[in-house]
Every structure is written in structure tokens, then in C-alpha cells.
């Protein structure tokens, strides 16, 4: 039942969106590139999920507060695990909204991962062409699965895998700089060093098409992180400037009163 719902309401619609984007490219390219269509699909999906992404960043402080509270409970009741579990459940019940939002976001990420896996496993090679809607325009087949005429989207590629890991490092670095929260040395090592290396090894066998989706997603995330960094720096600068003006104004008032 769940598999049928996934196919009908997630996989099939997005497969048709990808094929439609590929068809549009035929007006601009002599030989449409499915890799470019994947990039456009990634941008389309990120735009759909933008409200969730923004909401997720806004609730970061609440999530950190929950994590800190749970850590305090674990430390306080380290010798009484039963009491610790009861206290942690109380925290979870108090923050149902955040937890539900996290589960919803996780379910969306899992659905996208499964959609991409099936899309590059059976969709693009041609096994799922029967799922193309009848009203869709006719597209020349087989699809051109050579991105830029160099990278086969159905096979792994170490160059794209390395680029993906580098972008993960860049994203985590910018995110740390943009975060208003203090980051520990342990978190820096885990996010900026271990995560890129682990991702390189874990996704080594992943088809280039999926890597292209992840790479595009990372680039968009880096742009958003840079925007947050610039915004934070501007706010810090404005706060210092207003504080300085207030101090200068107060000093002038003191001088006027003294002279008067």
C-alpha cells in the first residue's frame, strides 16, 4: 500500500517533471542533456522545500535547547536510567511540535532519496517509461544520459564524488561561521573533517546522477548559508554602530549638562 502511494504521488509525478524539463531543453540544445534536467529538477524541488528549510533554521535554537535539556537529564540521572527516561519523555511531550516537524522533514528527505534511487535505477534507463503521462509531449528516446558528454549518469564517478565531499566541507565551514551558536571543537572536527571523508566513502558507488542532485543541493545550501552569514555580519555591525551612537549621544548629553 505504502509503495503504491509512493509511486503514484511522489515518484511518478517527479519522473514526469524530469522528462518534461528534458523536453524543454530540446528547444535550447541540439542534444538535450539529462544531467542539466536533473539540475533543473533539483532547483525545482529545493524551491518547493524552501519554506521547510527556512522554518528548520528558525527552529534551530529550540532544537538545541531540547538537546541541552536532555543532556542535563542524562547527567543528573546517570545512575537512575528509568528516571532519566521518564524525564526525557516529559521533555518530548512538551516539544511535540518540534519533534513532529523533524519527523515530517525526515520523511520528506527519505522519500526524495528513494525517488532518486528508483529514478536512476529504472526510470532513466527506460524501464519506467510506461509511467509517463499520456498528455506529456513526445520525447526522443533513449535519453541522453551523458552529462556534458563526459559523465554517465547511471555509473559512479570519482571526480563528482570528490567535488561532493569538497562542497560538504565548504557548506559546513560556512554554516559554522553563520551560526549564532557556539560550536565546539568536537563538532568542527565531526562536521568539517569526518563528514566529508565519510561521505566520500559511503557514496563512492552512487550513480553520477544522484551525485549531481546532491552537488546541486549543496551549492544551493552554500548560497543560503552565505546569505545568512552576510545577514548576521550586517546585524552585528548595525548593533555595534547603534551601540556606539547611543554611547556618543549619552556622552554628549553629559557634556552639555556639565557645561550648563
- Quick: pLDDT tens for 103-136: 777 788 888 888 888 888 888 777 888 899 999 9
Contact (Cβ atoms closer than 8 angstroms) between residue 8 and residue 125: no
84 pLDDT higher than 80: no
Last residue of one domain, picked from the residues 98, 116, 149: 149
- Percent of all residues in the chain with a pLDDT value above 70, rounded to a whole number: 80
Of the pLDDT bands very low, low, confident and very high (cuts 50, 70, 90), residue 199 is confident
Q: Which is higher by pLDDT, 32 or 99?
A: 32
User: Is the pLDDT reported for residue 33 higher than 70?
Assistant: yes
Whether residues 190 and 241 share a domain: the answer is yes
pLDDT at 70 > cutoff 80: no
Query: Any long-range contacts for 112-116 (C-beta under 8 Å, 24+ apart)?
Result: 112/45, 114/6, 114/11, 115/6, 115/10, 115/11, 115/14, 116/209, 116/210, 116/213
Residue 200 C-beta-side C-alpha neighbours within 13 Å:
15
**Domain final position from 97, 116, 149:** 149
Residues 159 and 208 in one domain: yes
Are residues 5 and 134 both part of a single domain? yes
Q: Do residue 247 and residue 165 come from a single domain?
A: yes
Which range marks the domain in which residue 164 is found? 155-260
Residue 97, pLDDT above cutoff 60? yes
Which of 129, 149, 169 is the C-terminal boundary of a domain?
149
The pLDDT value given to residue 54: 67
Name which of 193, 148, 187 is nearest 166 in CA terms.
Answer: 193
151 by DSSP, 3-state: which? strand
In what helix (H) or strand (E) does residue 43 lie, and over which residues does it extend? helix 34-58
Closest CA to 34 of 207, 153, 137, 163: 153
Residues 70/185, Cβ–Cβ less than 8 Å: no
Q: Say how many domains are in the chain.
A: 2
* Helix, strand, coil fractions of the chain, as percent rounded to 5: 80, 0, 20
37 exposure class (CB count in 10 Å sphere: 0-12, 13-18, 19+): buried
Query: Of 73, 81, 53, 22, which is closest to residue 220 (Cα–Cα)?
Result: 53
Amino acid at each position: 500500500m505504502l509503495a503504491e502511494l509512493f509511486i503514484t504521488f511522489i515518484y511518478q509525478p517527479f519522473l514526469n517533471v524530469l522528462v518534461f524539463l528534458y523536453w524543454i531543453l530540446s528547444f535550447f540544445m541540439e542534444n538535450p542533456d539529462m544531467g542539466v534536467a536533473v539540475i533543473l529538477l533539483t532547483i525545482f524541488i529545493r524551491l518547493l522545500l524552501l519554506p521547510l528549510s527556512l522554518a528548520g533554521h528558525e527552529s534551530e535554537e529550540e532544537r538545541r535547547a531540547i538537546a541541552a535539556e536532555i543532556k542535563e537529564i542524562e547527567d543528573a540521572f546517570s545512575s537512575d536510567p528509568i528516571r532519566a527516561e521518564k524525564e526525557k519523555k516529559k521533555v518530548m511531550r512538551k516539544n511535540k511540535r518540534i519533534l513532529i516537524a523533524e519527523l515530517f522533514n525526515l520523511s520528506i528527505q527519505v522519500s526524495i532519496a528513494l525517488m532518486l534511487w528508483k529514478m536512476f535505477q529504472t526510470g532513466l534507463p527506460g524501464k519506467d517509461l510506461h509511467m509517463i503521462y499520456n498528455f506529456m509531449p513526445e520525447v526522443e528516446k533513449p535519453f541522453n544520459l551523458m552529462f556534458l558528454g563526459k559523465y554517465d549518469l547511471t555509473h559512479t564517478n570519482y571526480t563528482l564524488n570528490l567535488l561532493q565531499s569538497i562542497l560538504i566541507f565548504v557548506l559546513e565551514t560556512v554554516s559554522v561561521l553563520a551560526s549564532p551558536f557556539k560550536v565546539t571543537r568536537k563538532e568542527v572536527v565531526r562536521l568539517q573533517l569526518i563528514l566529508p571523508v565519510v561521505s566520500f566513502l559511503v557514496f563512492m558507488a552512487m550513480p553520477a546522477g544522484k551525485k549531481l542532485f546532491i552537488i546541486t543541493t549543496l551549492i544551493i545550501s552554500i548560497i543560503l548559508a552565505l546569505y545568512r552569514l552576510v545577514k548576521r555580519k550586517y546585524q552585528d555591525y548595525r548593533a555595534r554602530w547603534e551601540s556606539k551612537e547611543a554611547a556618543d549621544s549619552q556622552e554628549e548629553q553629559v557634556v552639555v549638562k556639565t557645561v550648563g
